[in-house]
Chains A and B, each alone.
Chain A
Amino acid sequence: MRLKSLILGAACMAALSTPAFAQSLTAITGGRVLTGTSVIENGTVVIQNGRVVSVGTGVAPSGARIIDARGKVVAPGFVAVDSGLGGIEVSSVGGSDDLRNGANSISASFDVSYGLDPWSFTLPVARLGGITRAIVVPNHAGGGGGGHAHDDSDFAGVGHAGYQSPSLFAGQAAIIHLAQGTDILVKPRVAMVAPFGEAGAGIVGGARGAQFTQFKETLAEVRLYARNKGAYDRAGLRDLSLSRADLEALIPVANGSMPLIVTVRRAADIQQVLRLAREEGVRIILDGAEEGWLIADQIAAANVPVLLNPLANLPGNLETRAARLQNATVLDAAGVVIAIKGNEGSVHRARETRYNAGNAVSHGLPYEAAIEAITVNPARIFGMAGQFGELRAGAAADVVIWSGDPLEPLSNAETIFIGGAEQAPTSRQFLLRDRYRDGGEGALPPAYTR
């Protein structure tokens, strides 16, 4: 019952925050349709009122606006996971980074949804890469791949090596859409983030054993608090290590209703985390999991999904010595539900998500699985199956028409609908590009060109 209302609530939230969706009936015809789970040649996708009405091979309904997609590929909008979209503007400018929390008394309760900026110039850029939704996470250590690791990159993204959250928990993730408008929030507080491995151990002094012990102790305190809120308020409960806000935020994690995104890389650490989740009754999502392929069967048996960057194939540190480009392939073959990440924390380079999926394909991942890993799987993993991330009746009309195979760099996103609203195919970068298209040496300075 409670679960049902939770899902209903989520659906309402999604509908409410979909901005100014087009009411008009639109049919996209003749294209190669990737539904997210299947392929339809010469398909017809009908959308209205912000949602997909039908997907098939039928003729367009009368009165519909027809978009001719012959020779093109029609796909669901892609979903960026482990992303900083809307939460970071310029990585090195601390004041524009609302995903980096340094407060000690606000850790698990840190809620990124308050810092989201619908006017962020990162959003149109990602959109042109076919990204229409994102799971925005608080800044956290670990989860490598697609990053650059020297002096020009100390601050990029949400998952870089240099950063350490001050507590075991980095905070709570939110789902956004990338449509133009005044509100991008789809659903706040969809998951908790906690780094494990070297990064997590570093928080408690450096040793993994200390972190696991503290983690268990923390969950015990959360449960104690949850059973004794009255006593806590009367100061009749022993001192607890977390703030009240953090204790509250962790109750859904402790009772298994909110998933915990665990950033973890080494196979041995993944095994320990799987055991911990089982013992504590915590629902987890693995993030990073560079060495996951070594224990793919264990991850599959635990029914735990994985967010990964398939490009991560170098031993950036001693936790990732088994990193391989085939990680996605092996995990998928074992039956693990995977979502493929963009690069460098998936903010400015979220648009490269599709190339990452393509590279996974060139290293053995079936094409259909790669598409799933950037569409339906993220939706499934974050409890939004059927609501977005696929072209099927009832889902949000996040539809992108591509000039060709969307995983190819030479293909362009030509027409983009989010929640049924057609998006202007431009960005600040396009304006800059066009201003200098003729070399910038005209009679008037470029500043006179808009």
Chain B
Amino acid sequence: MRLHTMRGSSLAVLACAVAGSLALSACATTGDSGSGDGASTDDSDKRTLARGLDAATNPDPFPSTYRGLPRENMAIVGGTVFTGAGQKIENGVVIVTDGKVASVGDASTAVPAGYRVVDARGRFVTPGIIDVHSHLGVYPSPGVTGMSDGNEATSPNTAQVWAEHSLWPQDPGFNTARAGGVTTLQILPGSANLFGGRGVTVRNVPSVTMQGMKMPGAPYGVKMACGENPSRVYGGRNQSPATGMGNMAGYRAAFIAAQDYRAKWDKWREDGEGSPPTRNLQNETIAGVLDGSILVQNHCYRADEMAQMIDLSREFGFKITAFHHAVEAYKVAPLLAREGICADMWTGWWGFKMEALDAVEANAALVDAPAGSCAVIHSDDAELTQRLNQEAAAGLAAGRRMGMTISEERAISWITLNPARSLGIADQTGSLEAGKRADVVVWSANPFSVYARADQVFIDGALTFDRMNPAYQPVSDFELGQPGFGLSAATVPQGAR
């Protein structure tokens, strides 16, 4: 859905299509009010509400203004290319035209005239890393009083809040993540609530505004949380949910309310009788889950809880896109593959609470094994996001240690193509394949080595970070003039921080 590229009536038509169950006539009536001015002239004025009262008239109220940084056509030549889609090409060539991957091939691939040549001999080339679970900007550095905006822990259902409204673009963590090769992130609310709110997918470019980072055409996700966190937070206040069964009752009540809300809108759009439903942002988000336009990003550690959530999704007719922090995913790997649900995992984190007790380092390898699987390595952390390649390496090593045969070109998909699938953006990025956004990292060495550094990071074909060139090592406003600013910490090319 590339909502940002549509204007006027096409926007409203698309919104109708997204809403799913609307009659064509109802769609047509809102066609002219896509700008939200409410100036409709046909019979159905009564169905044209005051500005902001009907979500369908403006389904993208905080639109992306992302334009990309200045770019030039280029060819990255001579490196070992991991495409992210399973191929490894020695002495490969990646051709980038107008910010898109034009072609990827071996040394015989012709470089068009006038293209800048990036010499990657002796180095490695991968798609940009995608972190599906980040709190950069919403739990920024510094995490001090006044800066903790990630968890609206005031009610177990806060589906109405949007992480993008908390996102502080000056978080220095965006810069350090980019220096680790991260080009796309999903910024999620915290996990105190059953419904934590909407996440937002961003391009990892420096920006004064959230909108300047927001990824055009990326679907929204809603953060849901299973397990210990909601029941601990609300149980601790002597309020529901205090238990796992309370969690489940809470989800069900919310989906019942959202189904009801959706039906009321559908009915009103169809027959136009009576007062329109009052817009409710909480139900609106969950209704988006029901119509498939908003992806479920479900914090869920335990295998048994994943199976419960899958049944819940059947009860109400929605799809779970990904389980996050899925430390027990390996216990139900075939089930997840059959259901087409991504498992977003760490390699090394375990033991910090009971639901994290059974984490194994081989989780990603085991989840990856069945056909149709979607194994993802994620961070949830401003430090780990800088080294997702190493976290994938540790997971790869753990799989090999137990006798599994896993190639590096396969394992790289855990931090590139599979996370793109987990965010519903695999048609746009996540692999070096013709037509996709040219999100590319040139590594100093094999990215599965602890010594590899991201030398150059391209986003939509634009150089956004260069470890050797201070002109391409952005610092946020917060970092300016702080202790240590401007001092070189060592006589080595340092990149960000």
Contact = CB atoms under 8 A, between A and B. Distances in A.
A317 B390 CA distance: 26
Given A293-B489, A355-B450, A409-B397, A314 B382 contact: yes
B400 to A, nearest CB: 8
A150 B151 contact: yes
Given A152-B325, A358-B451, A326 B489 contact: yes
A314 B176 contact: yes
A17 interface: no
A415 interface: no
Given A326-B489, A352-B348, A362-B453, A315 B482 contact: yes
A291 B483 CA distance: 9
Interface in A343-401: 343-344, 347-349, 351-352, 355, 358-359, 361-364
Contacts of A161: 143
A321 B490 contact: no
Given A358-B451, A432-B358, A149 B139 contact: yes
Contact of A434 (B228, B325, B402, B490): B402
B374 to A, nearest CB: 16
Contacts of B478: 315
B494 A151 contact: no
A437 interface: yes
Interface residues of B, number: 74
Nearest to B390: A409
A149 B482 contact: no
Contact of A362 (B228, B402, B452): B452
A147 B349 CA distance: 10
Interface in B480-497: 482-485, 487, 489-492, 494, 497
Contact of A440 (B332, B401, B482, B494): B332
Given A92-B354, A433-B362, A318 B142 contact: yes
Nearest to A429: B360
Contacts of A93: 353-354
A316 B144 CA distance: 8
A441 interface: yes
Interface in B143-192: 143-144, 150-151, 153, 172-173, 176, 190-192
A167 interface: no
Contacts of A362: 450-453
B457 interface: no
A330 interface: yes
Contact of B383 (A122, A311, A321, A411): A311
Contacts of B268: none
Contacts of B141: 314-316
B393 A361 contact: no
A39 to B, nearest CB: 17
Contacts, number: 208
Contacts of B144: 317-318
Contact of B489 (A122, A327, A432): A327
B66 interface: no
A153 interface: yes
Contacts of A326: 489-490, 492, 494
Interface residues of A, number: 74
Contact of A152 (B352, B354, B361): B352
Nearest to B325: A152
A330 B143 CA distance: 26
Contact of A314 (B173, B353, B452): B173
Contacts of A437: 366, 402
Interface string A430-450: 101110110111000010000
A439 to B, nearest CB: 5
A146 B383 contact: yes
B302 interface: no
Given A433-B362, A437-B366, A322 B331 contact: no
A326 B492 CA distance: 9
B465 interface: no
B484 A349 contact: no
B194 to A, nearest CB: 14
Nearest to A327: B489
A218 B71 CA distance: 63
Given A149-B143, A314-B172, A90 B402 contact: no
A333 B490 contact: yes
Interface in B383-405: 383-384, 386-387, 390, 393-394, 396-398, 400-402
B492 A364 contact: yes
A91 B366 CA distance: 26
A313 B175 CA distance: 11
Interface string A146-160: 111111110110000
A432 B302 CA distance: 14
A429 B348 contact: no
B351 interface: yes
A343 B383 CA distance: 10
Interface in B433-471: 448-453
Contact of A363 (B176, B228, B492): B492
B452 A348 contact: no
A264 to B, nearest CB: 14
B317 interface: no
B472 interface: no
A61 to B, nearest CB: 32
A329 interface: yes
B484 A294 contact: yes
A41 interface: no
Contact of A408 (B229, B380, B449): B449
Contacts of A6: none
B359 interface: yes
B330 interface: yes
B478 to A, nearest CB: 8
Contact of A410 (B333, B448, B484, B494): B448
Interface string A60-100: 00000000000000000000000000000111110000000
Interface string A259-274: 0000000110000000
B370 interface: yes
A33 interface: no
A324 interface: yes
21 contacts: A92-B353, A149-B382, A151-B150, A151-B190, A152-B191, A152-B325, A153-B352, A155-B353, A321-B142, A322-B484, A326-B494, A348-B349, A349-B348, A349-B349, A359-B450, A407-B450, A410-B449, A411-B397, A429-B360, A433-B330, A440-B333
Interface of A: 89-93, 122, 125, 145-153, 155-156, 161, 266-267, 291, 293-294, 311-318, 320-327, 329-330, 333, 343-344, 347-349, 351-352, 355, 358-359, 361-364, 407-412, 429-430, 432-434, 436-437, 439-441, 446
Interface of B: 135, 139, 141-144, 150-151, 153, 172-173, 176, 190-192, 228-229, 325, 330-334, 348-354, 357-362, 366, 369-370, 380-384, 386-387, 390, 393-394, 396-398, 400-402, 448-453, 478-479, 482-485, 487, 489-492, 494, 497
- The list of the 7 closest CB pairs from A to B, nearest first, reads A322-B484, A358-B450, A326-B489, A348-B351, A364-B492, A92-B353, A409-B393
